[in-house]
Amino acid sequence: MGVILAMDIGGTQLRAAVYPANNTTPLAIKRSATHGQEPGAFDRLTALIDSIWPQEPVEAISIAIPGPINPYTGFIIETPNISSLSKFPIGEKLAGRYHVPIFAGNDANLAALGEWRYGAGLGHHDLIYMTISTGIGGGVISNDQLLLGSHGLAAELGHVTVLPDGPVCSCGQRGHLEGIASGPGITRYVIEKLAEGISSSLATKTNLTTLDISEAAARGDQLARAAFAYAGEFIGLALANYLQIFNPSIVILGGGVSQSGDLILEPIKASLQQHVMDPYYLEGFELTTARLGDDVGLLGALAQAQIQLTAK
């Protein structure tokens, strides 16, 4: 039996791992920087693949992309942090070079697959994964299938309107959940309140980060706590909508903001209970945090290849 080469393209790091086709323990794992002097991101990617290429036959290359991608054609629509890969036919380019099946998917969708197959979602058939960090991404597993949609562009759970006249989102639209509840959204809330004259230990801080706010909240800073409560309220509201649309048995939260623990989880739970149309949706329902850590993209890519190869 051959091996699977899993790749995760991140905004700062490229990761590659070789997995046995039926196992999650990597035979090899390598990383390199996404950006740098020449060459560009794609050449850096192929250099990494060449350097980890195994002796065993490679059954497939499976790759997690940080942006919307058409997984049916392997065409990247956009990669906000890596301009050279936007509108780029990565599937075609890799297939032409390596002559093995290429599978590519959005990183949040693949994280949902990874958590479902190997992580916090094990045993569930209907699952929602949401990552909350610089942006908010998501993936939906419905009846043991990853929801992709007609162009493979499902499920942008962060780009839903929750406050029509709210702040401008990274996508350009106004009032999206990502604009309010992502790391930059939480930071913006604090900066706006400080400008209004609200007192806080954060007033003297320059280059404010979500971590600073989280630490201030742990020390009892009221503004910092209010910032997480505000974000949590909108995340809970969005989740109530998702529960009614998809009726999952579990929601898994990943990304840096979810690591703030009860600071963000408690307001999410309270808001979810307040906004869900019927408490029956919450019976046996689990809200939890991701389990796979930094390797979630690689394991999601592995899961994608295993599913696709089995379906052939």
Q: Which is nearer to Zn ion, 15 or 159 (CB)?
A: 159
Q: Smallest distance from the beta carbon of 181 to Zn ion, in angstroms? A: 11
Rounded to the nearest whole angstrom, what is the least distance from the CB of residue 193 to Zn ion in the complex?
Answer: 22
Which one, 26 or 184, has the nearer CB to Zn ion?
Answer: 184
Residue (175 or 256) nearer to Zn ion, CB: 175
Closest residue to Zn ion, based on beta-carbon distance = 169
CB of 185 to Zn ion, least distance (A): 11
Contact criterion met (CB below 8 Å) for 155 and 140? yes
- Per CB under 5 A, residues contacting Zn ion are 159, 169, 171, 173, 176
Nearer to Zn ion, 169 or 235 (CB): 169
Q: Contact, 106 vs 155, CB < 8 A?
A: no
| DSSP string computed for 85-151 | GTTB-HHHHHHHHH-S-EEEEEHHHHHHHHHHHHSTTTT-SSEEEEEESSSEEEEEEETTEE---TT
Question: Residue 200 Cβ, how far from Zn ion at the closest point, in Å?
Answer: 28
Strand pairing class (69-70; 75-76): antiparallel
Positive or negative, the CA dihedral 242, 244, 245, 246 is positive
Exposed (0-12), middle (13-18) or buried (19+): which is 76, by Cβ within 10 Å? buried
Nearer to Zn ion, 77 or 171 (CB): 171
Find the shortest distance in angstroms from Cβ 118 to Zn ion: 29
